[in-house]
Amino acid sequence: MTPENEIELLRDQIRYYDRKYYVEASPEISDLDYDRLMGQLKNLEREFPELVTSDSPSMRIGDEIVGDLVPVAHRVPMLSIENTYNLEELAGFLNRVQKNIVEPVQWVMELKIDGVAAAIVYERGRLVRAVTRGNGQIGDDITHTIRTVGDVPLKLANHPPELLEVRGEVYMTNSDLAKLNLQRDQMGQPPFANPRNVTAGSIRMQDPREAARRRMRFFCHGVGYCEGMRSENHMDFLAELKSFGLPVTPHVVRFESANEVLSQIDQIQAELHSLDFEVDGLVLKVNSFRQREILGSTTKSPRWVVAYKIEKYEAVTRLNEIRVQVGKTGAITPVAELEPVQLAGTTVSRASLHNAEEIERKDIRVGDWVVVEKAGKIIPHVVRVELHRRPDESLPFVFPIECPECQTRLVKDEGGVYIRCPSQTCPAKLRQRLRFFASRSAMDIDGLGEKIVDQLVDAGLVNSYGDLYKLTEDQLLKLDSFGKRKAEKLLAGIAVSKSRGLGRVLAAISIRHVGTRVALLLAQRFHSIEHLQSASIDELASVDEIGEIIADSVFGFLHSEFGESTIAELQEAGVSLVEALHLAAKDVGGDDAKVFEGKTFVVTGTLLKYKRDEIEELIAKHGGRAASSVSKNTDFLVAGEKAGSKLAKAQELGVQVISEDDFENLIIGPSGLQAAEILE
């Protein structure tokens, strides 16, 4: 083999392993073996310097320090993105876009990575230039530092376009920041505060060797000037970039409608804790490039993209202890007991550690100083450990192998991250299930709070949901703190809960993967527990928004010994297991059920026919959104008695105000108000 062929073979091997590591997140060789390959390449290039090329993997880190950064004009301006901080404004943006497009609009949701925007230009597949965003028209040339970023290929694979400008975010992971700060502490240098600040400074450094030590990374999420891209939509575009060996933005989700976006955004936000990089929001983009052209841009931002920003607050405090809790499904959740610290105007003394894998991945230990974050409505969580402040005597946390309450051996979800207590008689699981069963979003049992649940379980009076409906006044009066009035109130609350209906019961009995929304969909589709029990997995999975995982869980519960006994006990107690909310007796998946598609409602005042959560369930059932405050994007205000300030705000903004009767008429047909005219 000639030296030229041997060198090119080594380069191709290293590029392949780079791609497996950075782009596909599935490394195939160890760091030691990778370093040996790179050493062989460098030795050959030193022996044959005439064969060295600018796109060789060995040329990532230049030896020369550059002078002042050179300004470069963007061939296509890097426009900013319109921001919103609440769901009402987001819904308004999505609805405005749909009104300007005749056919349905597909949306793509991406993570808004908290880094530094940059554009990278490839000519004939070779990296030739990288530029900061700057003012959107002119940025600074940072080619020398971008070449040090391991994610960024110096040469593209698979016949890329003749000219390709990709845009994305330069960032640093939390774990790399922790390691960097440890190194700086050992050298007597002050630590960096957060990943974004490090990245912003590092990307503009004049010495590429120093920039390389910062271990920056890059995600592509857009395109600038290009000649020869073949994609017609954003999802295909990302796949095309990935085929060239470029690292594309991760965890991208496509939605078929604005309503689907809004129904899942909170769940997606709640899962951001598992990421090792900072995210300060979610970006919604129109998937179709043709539709983007129709929508166009303003002078400041495109009309086809919006950022839903998440307000984040951080603080540093000491982790004093790690405790584990048993949840209603048996999941063992570790919780950090913190030195109290002020965060977003509240005192935080506890933070979720989520699961055993997260503790191991972040290497969280008792006695550590940790960065705690609160973002939006999400409970506080630990972002990273300040390794440079770790006590010398610290030891890794050992996750328990037995349930702390009933000593049953714990099991890990197959293919999942959660460790659970499998015992159906675990007292801790029973307490959590009963607390949830009685909660407002479930059976809404007045008088059944956390302390009373504990009393009932500890006294052996309640060992299942059905036992609640067997309680007597005499039994309650024997318990501490129970008088006749308190006992009567609790029994009355339990009796009233019998009429909540199938949807509320399904949400209340802690079936895995079944929350309020899924429970309502199932109840509206099958109407009674008998029909639901007789449904096959395929029939369950065919329900809109359900899918195989939820269907397996529901079917497994209903046909398990525990599930069958639970249903039988509730039936025997007289609990209603048919769907209560059936104004029009329409399936959620049917065309008529989407009568509120794209409409936002606010409910205010004292209602006579419904509880607040019941009318909000009806709004969701028929395709609409229930918001908490009136804005210019509100379509209807459902006003009861003593409506107050929200009514005044609606009148000021010209929002349509309707009564409970008017609301029902929109669903079951016109009577006084013409539904078609109102919903126009």
Q: For residue 62, what pLDDT band results from cuts at 50, 70 and 90? A: low
Residue 16 and residue 99 in one domain: no
149-172 per-position pLDDT tens digit = 989 999 999 889 999 999 999 999
Strands 116-123 and 656-658: unpaired
- Measured between alpha carbons, how far is residue 650 from residues 398, 658, 675 in Å? 55, 11, 20
Looking up residue 268, the CATH number of its domain turns out to be 3.30.470.30
619-633 per-position pLDDT tens digit = 887 778 888 778 888
320-373 per-position pLDDT tens digit = 999 999 988 889 999 999 999 988 778 999 998 999 999 999 999 999 999 999
Amino acid identity of residue 58, one-letter, is S
* pTM exceeding the 0.85 threshold for the entire prediction: no
Query: Does 407 fall in a domain?
Result: no
Pick from 172-176, 181-185, 309-313, 660-664: least confident? 660-664
**Neighbouring C-beta atoms of residue 634, cutoff 10 Å:** 23
Residue 36 and residue 143 in one domain: no
Write down which residue in 448, 476, 497 finishes a domain. 497
How far is Cα 454 from Cα 430, in angstroms, rounded to an integer?
A: 10
Q: For residue 254, what pLDDT band results from cuts at 50, 70 and 90? A: very high
Q: What is the pLDDT of residue 25?
A: 67
Query: Does 20 fall in a domain?
Result: yes
β partners of residue 170: 116, 218
Q: What is the pLDDT of residue 63?
A: 58
In this predicted structure, the answer to whether residue 592 has a pLDDT above a threshold of 90 is no
Q: For residue 557, what pLDDT band results from cuts at 50, 70 and 90? A: very high
Query: Does 511 fall in a domain?
Result: yes
β partners of residue 119: 131, 167
Query: Does 405 fall in a domain?
Result: no
Query: Does 396 fall in a domain?
Result: no
Q: Can you spell out the DSSP letters for 16-54? A: HHHIIIIISS---S-HHHHHHHHHHHHHHHHH-GGG--T
% of the chain exceeding 70 in pLDDT = 94
Catalytic residues: 112
Rounded to the nearest 10°, the torsion over CA 89, 91, 92, 94 is 120
In this predicted structure, the answer to whether residue 618 has a pLDDT above a threshold of 90 is no
Give me the number of domains the chain comprises: 6
Strands 411-412 and 419-420: antiparallel
For range 225-251, the mean pLDDT: 93
Characterize 468-489 residue by residue with b for buried, 16 or more Cβ atoms within 10 angstroms of its Cβ, and e for exposed.
bbebeeeebeeeeebeeeebee
376-427 per-position pLDDT tens digit = 667 889 999 999 999 989 999 999 999 998 999 999 988 778 899 998 889 9
> Which residue, 217, 205, 134, 204, is CA-closest to 171?
217
Residue 198 and residue 255 in one domain: yes
β partners of residue 233: 288
456-489 per-position pLDDT tens digit = 999 999 999 999 999 999 999 999 889 999 999 9
Query: Does 70 fall in a domain?
Result: no
Q: What is the pLDDT of residue 65?
A: 67
Q: Which residues, in sequence order, are CB contacts of 223 under 8 Å at separation 6+?
A: 164, 165, 166, 167, 229, 237
Q: What is the pLDDT of residue 353?
A: 93
Looking up residue 487, the CATH number of its domain turns out to be 1.10.150.20
Q: For residue 580, what pLDDT band results from cuts at 50, 70 and 90? A: low
Write down which residue in 309, 328, 346 finishes a domain. 309
Q: Which domain holds residue 149?
A: 82-309
φ, ψ (nearest 5 deg) of residue 72: -135, 135
Q: What is the pLDDT of residue 668?
A: 57
Q: For residue 677, what pLDDT band results from cuts at 50, 70 and 90? A: very low
Residue 127 and residue 255 in one domain: yes
Residue 261 and residue 343 in one domain: no
Residue 193 and residue 158 in one domain: yes
Identify the burial level of 242 via C-beta atoms within 10 angstroms of its C-beta, where 0-12 means exposed, 13-18 middle and 19 or more buried: middle
Query: Does 330 fall in a domain?
Result: yes
Residue 550 and residue 664 in one domain: no
* E strands present in 211-345: 217-227, 253-255, 279-286, 305-309, 312-326, 332-343
Structure tokens at 416: 């999942």
For range 221-232, the mean pLDDT: 91
In this predicted structure, the answer to whether residue 680 has a pLDDT above a threshold of 60 is no
Query: Does 410 fall in a domain?
Result: no
Q: What is the pLDDT of residue 672?
A: 34
Residue 197 and residue 244 in one domain: yes
In this predicted structure, the answer to whether residue 3 has a pLDDT above a threshold of 80 is yes
Q: What is the pLDDT of residue 675?
A: 40
How far is Cα 403 from Cα 418, in angstroms, rounded to an integer?
A: 13
Provide the edge-to-edge strand list for the sheet that holds 217-227.
126-132, 116-123, 163-171, 217-227
Rounded to the nearest 10°, the torsion over CA 43, 45, 48, 50 is -170
Q: Which residues, in sequence order, are CB contacts of 362 under 8 Å at separation 6+?
A: 174, 175, 382, 384, 385
Q: Which H, E and C letters describe 53-91, residue by residue?
A: CCCCHHHCCCCCCCCCCCEEECCCCCCCCEEECCHHHHH
The alpha carbon of residue 464 and the mean position of all alpha carbons in its chain are separated, in whole angstroms, by 33
In this predicted structure, the answer to whether residue 115 has a pLDDT above a threshold of 90 is yes
Q: What is the pLDDT of residue 590?
A: 41
Q: For residue 586, what pLDDT band results from cuts at 50, 70 and 90? A: very low
Q: Which residues, in sequence order, are CB contacts of 351 under 8 Å at separation 6+?
A: 335, 336, 338, 372, 379, 380, 381, 382
Residue 179, CA atoms < 13 Å, CB-side half-sphere: 11
Amino acid identity of residue 119, one-letter, is A
H helix runs in 276-316, sequence order: 289-295
Q: What is the pLDDT of residue 591?
A: 43
Looking up residue 53, the CATH number of its domain turns out to be 1.10.287.610
Asked if 613 contacts 647 with a C-beta cutoff of 8 angstroms, the reply is no
Q: What is the pLDDT of residue 610?
A: 72
Q: What is the pLDDT of residue 583?
A: 37
Residue 490 and residue 564 in one domain: no
Rounded to the nearest 10°, the torsion over CA 381, 385, 391, 397 is 60
Looking up residue 639, the CATH number of its domain turns out to be 3.40.50.10190
Identify the burial level of 439 via C-beta atoms within 10 angstroms of its C-beta, where 0-12 means exposed, 13-18 middle and 19 or more buried: middle
More confident residue, 463 or 524: 463
Residue 277 and residue 342 in one domain: no
Given the structure tokens 């062929």, which residue do they identify? 5
Write down which residue in 369, 389, 409 finishes a domain. 389
- Measured between alpha carbons, how far is residue 342 from residues 122, 335, 338, 345, 403 in Å? 47, 18, 11, 6, 33
In this predicted structure, the answer to whether residue 676 has a pLDDT above a threshold of 70 is no
292-306 per-position pLDDT tens digit = 999 999 888 999 999
Residue 453 and residue 440 in one domain: yes
Q: What is the pLDDT of residue 575?
A: 94
> Which residue, 627, 617, 624, is CA-closest to 521?
617
Give, for 11, the enclosing helix (H) or strand (E).
Answer: helix 3-18
Q: For residue 593, what pLDDT band results from cuts at 50, 70 and 90? A: low
Residue 138 and residue 248 in one domain: yes
